């Protein structure tokens, strides 16, 4: 005879077909796609967490990754909204509004914990000393960014200059990033995309260049007469200096083109072994000789600048090679006594010398 308080075996069984794989509760499951189905509460929580962790991806694509670990499918957020109940739709809308209000610069949210009201900021709010009043809960509050005092304006300028010279903007989403240490490869925390730190410049130098350009233009506008008289007085010297810069630039361009040409001819000769490439290697020298016969004075200066550039680059190459060789030798050299003892023991083992 069974005990009256005991439960039947059917009361202990769980319907695995309606079991949610996240909360492990038997509920009505909603089909996201194919064979991935979950309960509405878990879908809502997953959507909110994905929106908080990847707001930029949600903003650009409008897709949410499937909660399954082995599934790479992405579901449109509009499809998820159609699966939720009215109360869950309202909860999701409130959370998405909060996420946008936190990250947006033109949105101001009510500081009250029991109020979800938000409002837009306009340029007319800047400098206003009157506190804001929430239209929903009538809470009055002041915003330090909007209500700028004279002292805080100077702090804002200092903060802007500090960010401009110590941070770089992500080339994909524009979020400022600070690099303390590590390699050149960076991953943006906002959009999760890769870029190289050395390829992005500090925005502060752009400000400096614009300020210098404006300053030079103002100086030229105020002292244009003095500048013009100086040019007329030293016209010959200025022309010589300008001609020297032009010769140096042309020499550098000709030298780089000639090096690239000879490298191309050498690679072709190594692959095909054609003797025509040997003849083609003398073509640049023939062209230079023809130009020299037409403009001997100018080309003489270009050749002189090319010789100086070759000597400079040669000295730099020798210095870099010696520095690298010294660095490699210093790294291979043992710096501690135990390392020297280990090297001696290895030498004895290799040459089968008896220990002392």
d(CA 195, CA 202): 15
Q: How many CB atoms lie within 10 A of CB 267?
A: 11
Strand pairing partners for 176? Answer: 169
Tokens, residue 325: 């060789």
pLDDT digits (tens, 9 = 90+) for 66-108: 888 788 888 888 888 888 888 888 888 888 877 777 766 667 7
pLDDT at 355 over 70: no
Which contacts qualify for 139-146: CB closer than 8 Å, 24 or more apart?
Answer: 139/110, 139/111, 139/112, 139/115, 141/110, 141/111, 143/108, 146/108, 146/121
Give the residue carrying structure tokens 């909360």. Answer: 23
* Other residues' Cβ atoms within 10 Å of the Cβ of residue 67: 20
Q: Check if the beta carbon of residue 63 is closer than 8 Å to that of residue 57.
A: yes
What's the confidence (pLDDT) of residue 14? 46
Cα(137)–Cα(110) distance, integer angstroms:
9
Q: Look-up: residue for tokens 């016969």?
A: 293
Copy the structure tokens of residue 95: 């959370």
CA dihedral 311, 313, 316, 317 (to 10 degrees): -110
Per-residue pLDDT tens over the stretch 173-193: 878 887 776 777 888 877 778
Q: For residue 2, what pLDDT band results from cuts at 50, 70 and 90? A: very low
Residues paired with 187 in a beta bridge: 194
In angstroms, the CA 158 to CA 166 distance is 12
Taken in order 58, 61, 63, 69, is the CA torsion positive or negative?
negative
Residue 1's pLDDT is what?
40
Torsion angle (degrees, nearest 10) of CA 235, 238, 244, 249: -120
Give which of 259, 243, 244 is closest to 310, Cα–Cα.
Answer: 259
**CA gap 312, 305 in Å, rounded:** 10
For residue 338, is pLDDT > 60? no
Rounded CA separation 208/63 (Å) = 41
Both tokens of residue 289?
A: 């000789």
Q: How do residues 273-324 score in pLDDT, each as one tens digit? A: 666 767 777 888 888 888 888 888 878 888 888 888 788 888 888 888 888 8
Q: What is the DSSP letter of 145?
A: T
In terms of pTM, does the model score above 0.75? no
Average pLDDT, the chain: 76
In this structure, the strands spanning 36-39 and 29-33 are antiparallel
- Distance between CA atoms of residues 298 and 321, nearest Å: 35
For 60, 249, 301, 346, the CA distances from 297, given in Å and listed in that order, are 61, 16, 7, 67
Tens-digit pLDDT profile for residues 119-162: 776 666 655 666 777 777 877 776 655 554 444 567 777 777 77
Residue 297 is inside which H or E element, if any? Answer: helix 296-332
- The pLDDT of residue 127 is 57
Give the separation between CA 87 and CA 94, rounded to whole angstroms: 11
């Amino acid at each position: 005879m069974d005990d009256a308080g005991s439960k039947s075996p059917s009361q202990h069984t769980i319907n695995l077909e309606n079991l949610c794989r996240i909360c492990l509760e038997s509920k009505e499951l909603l089909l996201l796609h194919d064979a991935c189905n979950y309960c509405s509460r878990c879908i809502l929580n997953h959507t909110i967490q994905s929106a908080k962790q990847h707001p930029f991806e949600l903003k650009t694509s409008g897709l949410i990754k499937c909660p399954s670990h082995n599934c790479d499918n992405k579901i449109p957020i509009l499809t998820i909204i159609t699966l939720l109940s009215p109360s869950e739709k309202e909860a999701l809308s409130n959370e998405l509004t909060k996420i946008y209000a936190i990250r947006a610069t033109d949105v101001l949210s009510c500081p009250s914990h029991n109020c979800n009201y938000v409002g837009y900021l306009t340029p007319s709010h800047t400098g206003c000393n009157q506190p804001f009043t929430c239209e929903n809960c009538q809470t009055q509050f002041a915003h330090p960014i909007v209500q700028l005092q004279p002292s805080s304006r100077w702090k804002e300028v200092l903060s802007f200059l500090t960010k401009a010279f110590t941070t770089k903007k992500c080339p994909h989403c524009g979020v400022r990033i600070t690099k303390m240490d590590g390699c050149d490869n960076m991953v943006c925390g906002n959009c999760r995309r890769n870029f190289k730190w050395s390829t992005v410049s500090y925005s502060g130098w752009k400000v400096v260049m614009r300020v210098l350009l404006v300053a030079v233009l103002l100086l030229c506008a105020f002292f244009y007469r003095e500048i013009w008289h100086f040019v007329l007085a030293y016209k010959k010297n200025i022309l010589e200096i300008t001609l020297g810069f032009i010769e140096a630039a042309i020499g550098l361009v000709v030298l780089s083109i000639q090096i690239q040409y000879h490298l191309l001819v050498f690679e072709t000769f190594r692959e095909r072994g054609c003797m025509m490439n040997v003849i083609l290697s003398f073509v640049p020298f023939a062209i230079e000789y023809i130009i020299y016969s037409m403009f001997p004075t100018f080309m003489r200066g270009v050749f002189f600048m090319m010789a100086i550039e070759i000597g400079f680059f040669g000295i730099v190459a020798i210095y870099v090679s010696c520095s690298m060789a010294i660095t490699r030798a210093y790294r291979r050299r043992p710096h501690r006594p135990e390392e020297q003892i280990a090297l001696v023991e290895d030498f004895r083992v290799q040459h089968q010398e008896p220990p002392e």
